[in-house]
Structure 1
């Protein structure tokens, strides 16, 4: 999995949101949240524990053409500007850089300084002159506004503990017609996955609409594509999504 991980996981959030036995009050839960997230609602779901920064072996992923399938679905072409958030070891960063070419740009983001350092070394070693690196925070990818044709969130969204703050701050980074690409697995968020219905709901709550959804074996899961729709709601106007009992217990 990506390294949008341990620093994203709030023990108060997990106890309050995932367990009916928890006796937490909203104030107690907020005490364990970043101050910058407290204007946003708590998500009603557990968060996957952090793990390796690699989803799986790059050779294995290339053997089923994973990156090519995703980039083709996203219609990545030469000259585009793309953000790879939760970039980890750089599997998509490297392949996106090759696809967009010298006239395009890729920004690779992560929240782990060690991961960022290793990724920077890889970028230098492979001489990827169209790639830049960005250190984000658990609730803010820190992307420049009106800058990206595509924003990739591959096998990492289930590790985001503040999805409403995260998506709210991500949205202005899209150019007109820009799209957010999510690749994930259809299983419980506590088991390194994201039920599609919950994904759709969380994006819709922040003003995105689903424009494409595809299940493919090459992805070991699904591909979902979103576009900004209407105005961005204020943090206080965001209505949090509720997990179904099935999603909570799977």
Structure 2
């Protein structure tokens, strides 16, 4: 069992030890393209979509296999002071409840657990069963009693509602093949005043990045407002922070983002 430090408040977080794993998939898009909202869905076979995503618009960006197991080594990232910069921007404080989605080897999970302290909570999630098992062993080895671990799916992180002050998507959102279903399912997990934190690189998503304009557009389609955006050398990319505003649109009400201009993929 790799679920660590589970409390009654998080009893709805299901065990992940025996669940099959899959990797997020990413799309391809050229940086700097103009973006617009349009009512038509992008190309694709709806029958191949994850069951829970079939009622949602399809992302207008081709999907390519996930690949990078890690953005960089932890030593290299710490040498740039990456985690401290991100956690300071996100105003992470002791006692907060935070989700680290696409946690991988746990670079942010470990550091968030230290920052929120014994009165805070961290949920680490990935969709790869092997990654989850390895992360569970690391959490146990480092005796992090304030961390719980679970497995999500490519279209639904299955987070408990009204539970998180911050949800982190670090170098992983570009690999989400069903962004509209994913964000729709993620949104209710935020507490009042909660924020979604995205860290990524401004480059094509087949190169493990995402142009900011596309990021902004996809989040806006689900009723998220951009509250902060900065580029920093320490991140080797950008930091974007979103807040949920207004009501959550129904799946049929979501207006998907469409690309304009030549992409080389049409």
Deviation at 1:222, TM superposition (A): 0.2
Deviant stretches of 4+, over 3 Å: 5-10, 25-28
What is the aligned-residue RMSD (CA, Å)?
2.1
The equivalent position to 1:165 in structure 2, one of 181, 184, 190, is: 181
Query: Structure 2: any 5+ residue segments left out of the alignment?
Result: 1-20, 29-40
Contact 1:48 1:158 in 2 (8 A): no
Partner of 2:48: 32
Q: Higher relative CO (CA 8 A, sep ≥ 6), structure 1 or 2?
A: 2
Contact 1:86 1:111 in 2 (8 A): yes
Partner of 1:89: 105
Contact 2:22 2:127 in 1 (8 A): no
What aligned pairs does 1:22-171 form with structure 2 within 5 A after superposition?
Answer: 29-171=45-187
Partner of 1:232: 248
Query: Structure 1: any 5+ residue segments left out of the alignment?
Result: 15-24
Deviation at 1:28, TM superposition (A): 6.4
Deviation at 1:174, TM superposition (A): 0.2
Contact 1:47 1:158 in 2 (8 A): no
Structure with greater helix percent: 1
Deviation at 1:164, TM superposition (A): 0.2
Closer, same or farther in 2 for the Cα pair 1:73/1:63, shift >3 Å?
same
Q: Secondary structure at the match of 1:51?
A: coil
What CA distance in whole angstroms lies between the structure 1 residues aligned with 2:107 and 2:170?
10
**Range moving further from structure 2, 69-78 or 49-58:** 49-58
What CA distance in whole angstroms lies between the structure 2 residues aligned with 1:26 and 1:156?
22
Contact 1:97 1:106 in 2 (8 A): yes
Matched, 1:194 2:219: no
Q: Secondary structure at the match of 1:245?
A: coil
Aligned residues: 233
